[in-house]
């Protein structure tokens, strides 16, 4: 702590223009020429509040209270970007700024370290994260002196910004209220010591989203709760070929920001399920939420603090959910139980459709072939692309993929459809014959108690 008192005057000199007032300060826009040459670290703090809306104010590093719209009693949120190899401002920055301001009354501080992040030398950008973190630590000490509670500080870090948040949190002895890490950077951080990356001790609560663990992101859990949409790897809707250009490299990584923005806006809810593996989650082995009490499984995103107390008790929780290729990204999950009365077992995959008054939702359960046995319930996780509020009809299609073999027939004794994310009663249908590769449609009814 005493070390920071001596270092603060030097650290605050990183941006010599930080005290200069200007109207509607904007994020520094650099170009590829700057990236080729490389840029030295210069930290700019852009303040946004409900009073001035999308008009940013360049803050003083030495006197935060010099800005009348900065209210020490509000929540203070820091938004910290990551590596900028081309020097351009993040395209999502205006949208997330607007969404955060609309969500709650806060001091929103956009940390512009484009000078330092704009370089083709990624290793230099990684090195610069420590300088940025030291600067922010000095600024937070100034906030403390002016009565800002560290519990009211929320840092949202993207990629390298996630580890910057962690370094600041460690410097502040874990007193920061919350760190949200959106696909924390993996290269140069994987396999390092705790002090050299984000970890749960860096804040009172750390929530992490992983969307690109097989390339630019960090694979292992880093927070009190870690979310892995679509296993944290290939995100639906992202290009599969290098012919798509730069989007092929950054789409999975950036999806973390777009998923988080959707949660701020409350477009829909991503309920996430704790599980040992993504395969186990897809197999429907992890649909229980009992450990979280009446609140159920945690919802990914801005509102996960509603589960903070129980998640802290559980120490570290790894969760999974799936998404659609585009917004709205949320999928609706049901447990499907199928019991057959064929004498011989059948192996295959199912496609389930739900029909409402004016919409149709589809769930294709094809990540593996499942065994259906006589008088034995086979449980499957069905994830639908839309939420059908009132199911009027249901369709089933059974397939084996065996083109050269005779077609099978699935004689269904009972199919039971149970919503995992609502309070509606399960729906059932009894005695249905499903021809292979032919869709059969029927009207389900509320399930009745029975002996099977």
- Where are the domains positioned within the chain? 32-321, 332-446
Characterise 38 by phi-psi region: left (phi > 0), alpha (psi -120 to 50), beta (else). Answer: left
Binding-site residue set: 197, 199, 202
| pLDDT classification of 16: cutoffs 50, 70, 90 | very low
- H/E stretch holding 281 reads helix 278-282
- pTM comes to 0.91
**What pLDDT score does 424 carry?**
80
Q: DSSP per residue over 148-168, as a string?
A: --GGGEEEEEETHHHHHHHHH
| pLDDT classification of 404: cutoffs 50, 70, 90 | confident
Residue 183 catalytic? yes
- Residues of the chain with pLDDT > 90, as a percent, come to 86
- Residues of the chain with pLDDT > 70, as a percent, come to 94
Q: What is the pLDDT of residues 107-149, one digit of tens each?
A: 999 999 999 999 999 999 999 999 999 999 999 999 999 999 9
**What pLDDT score does 4 carry?**
45
> Which residues have a Cβ under 8 Å from the Cβ of 447 and sit 6 or more positions away?
416, 425, 426, 427, 428
Can you tell me the mean pLDDT for 267-295?
93
**What pLDDT score does 406 carry?**
83
Residue 251 has pLDDT above 60, yes or no: yes
Residue 451 has pLDDT above 60, yes or no: no
Residue 403 has pLDDT above 90, yes or no: no
Residue of 15, 60, 154, 159 with catalytic role: 159
Distance CA 142, CA 135 (A): 11
**What pLDDT score does 217 carry?**
98
Residue of 224, 253, 385, 399 with catalytic role: 253
Distance CA 181, CA 167 (A): 12
User: Which fold, 32-321?
Assistant: Rossmann fold (3.40.50)
The alpha carbon of residue 234 and the mean position of all alpha carbons in its chain are separated, in whole angstroms, by 14
| Residues 86, 161 contacting (CB under 8 angstroms) | no
Can you tell me the mean pLDDT for 35-45?
95
**What pLDDT score does 115 carry?**
98
Residue 7 has pLDDT above 80, yes or no: no
| Residues 229, 318 contacting (CB under 8 angstroms) | no
Residue 159 catalytic? yes
Domain 332-446 top-level CATH class = mainly beta
Please report, for residues 192, 241, 319, the alpha-carbon distance to residue 244 in angstroms, rounded to integers and kept in the order given.
33, 6, 30
Q: Beta-carbon neighbour count of residue 223 at 10 Å?
A: 27
Residue 3 has pLDDT above 70, yes or no: no
Residue of 134, 183, 226, 252 with catalytic role: 183
**What pLDDT score does 402 carry?**
86
**What pLDDT score does 450 carry?**
59
Binding-site residue set for Ca(2+): 197, 199, 202
**What pLDDT score does 22 carry?**
52
Phi, psi at 240, each rounded to 5°: -105, -5
Residue 239's SS3 state is coil
Residue 253 catalytic? yes
Residue 1 has pLDDT above 60, yes or no: no
**What pLDDT score does 18 carry?**
42
**What pLDDT score does 148 carry?**
96
Specify the length of the chain in residues: 452
**What pLDDT score does 95 carry?**
98
Q: What mean pLDDT value characterizes the chain?
A: 92
207: tokens are 């929530």
Residue 7's SS3 state is helix
Cα-atom radius of gyration of the chain, to the nearest Å?
25
Identical topology for domains 32-321 and 332-446: no
**Closest residue by Cα to residue 391 from 439, 324, 447:** 447
Residue appearing with tokens 């950036």: 254
């Amino acid at each position: 702590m005493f070390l920071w008192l001596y270092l603060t005057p030097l650290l605050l000199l990183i941006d010599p223009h930080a005290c200069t007032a200007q109207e509607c300060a904007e994020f520094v826009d650099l170009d590829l020429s700057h990236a080729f040459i490389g840029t030295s670290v210069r930290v700019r703090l852009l303040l946004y509040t409900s009073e001035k809306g999308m008009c940013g104010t360049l803050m003083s590093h030495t006197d935060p209270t010099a800005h009348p719209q900065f209210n020490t009693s509000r929540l203070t949120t820091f938004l910290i970007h990551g590596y900028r190899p081309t020097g351009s401002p993040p395209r999502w920055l205006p949208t997330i700024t607007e969404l955060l301001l609309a969500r709650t009354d806060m001091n929103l501080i956009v940390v512009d370290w484009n000078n330092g992040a704009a370089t083709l030398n990624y290793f230099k950008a990684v090195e610069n994260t420590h300088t940025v973190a030291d600067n922010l630590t000095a600024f937070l000490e100034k906030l403390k002196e002016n009565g800002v509670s560290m519990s009211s500080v929320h840092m949202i870090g993207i990629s390298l910004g996630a580890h910057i948040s962690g370094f600041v949190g460690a410097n502040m002895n874990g007193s920061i209220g919350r760190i949200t890490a959106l696909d924390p950077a993996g290269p140069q951080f994987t396999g390092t010591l705790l002090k050299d990356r984000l970890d749960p001790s860096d804040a009172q609560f750390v929530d992490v989203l992983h969307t690109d663990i097989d390339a630019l992101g960090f694979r292992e859990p880093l927070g009190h709760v870690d979310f892995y949409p679509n296993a944290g790897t290939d995100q639906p809707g992202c290009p599969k070929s290098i012919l798509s250009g730069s989007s092929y490299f950054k789409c999975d990584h950036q999806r973390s920001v777009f998923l988080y923005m959707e949660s701020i806006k409350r477009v829909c809810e991503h309920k996430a399920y704790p599980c040992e593996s993504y395969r186990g989650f897809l197999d429907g082995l992890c649909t229980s939420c009992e450990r979280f009490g009446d609140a159920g499984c945690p919802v990914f995103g801005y509102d996960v603090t509603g589960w903070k107390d129980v998640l802290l008790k559980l120490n570290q929780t790894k969760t999974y959910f799936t998404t659609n290729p585009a917004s709205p990204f949320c999928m609706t999950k049901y447990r499907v139980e199928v019991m057959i009365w064929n004498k011989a077992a059948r192996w295959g995959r199912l496609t389930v459709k739900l029909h409402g008054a004016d919409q149709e939702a589809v769930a294709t359960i094809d990540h593996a072939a499942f065994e259906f046995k006589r008088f034995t319930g086979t449980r499957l996780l069905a994830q639908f692309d839309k939420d059908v509020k009132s199911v009027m009809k249901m369709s089933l299609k059974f397939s084996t993929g065996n083109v050269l073999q005779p077609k099978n027939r699935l004689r269904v004794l009972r199919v039971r459809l149970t919503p995992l994310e609502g309070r509606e009663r399960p729906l059932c249908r009894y005695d249905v014959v499903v021809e292979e590769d032919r869709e059969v449609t029927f009207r389900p009814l509320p399930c009745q108690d029975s002996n099977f």
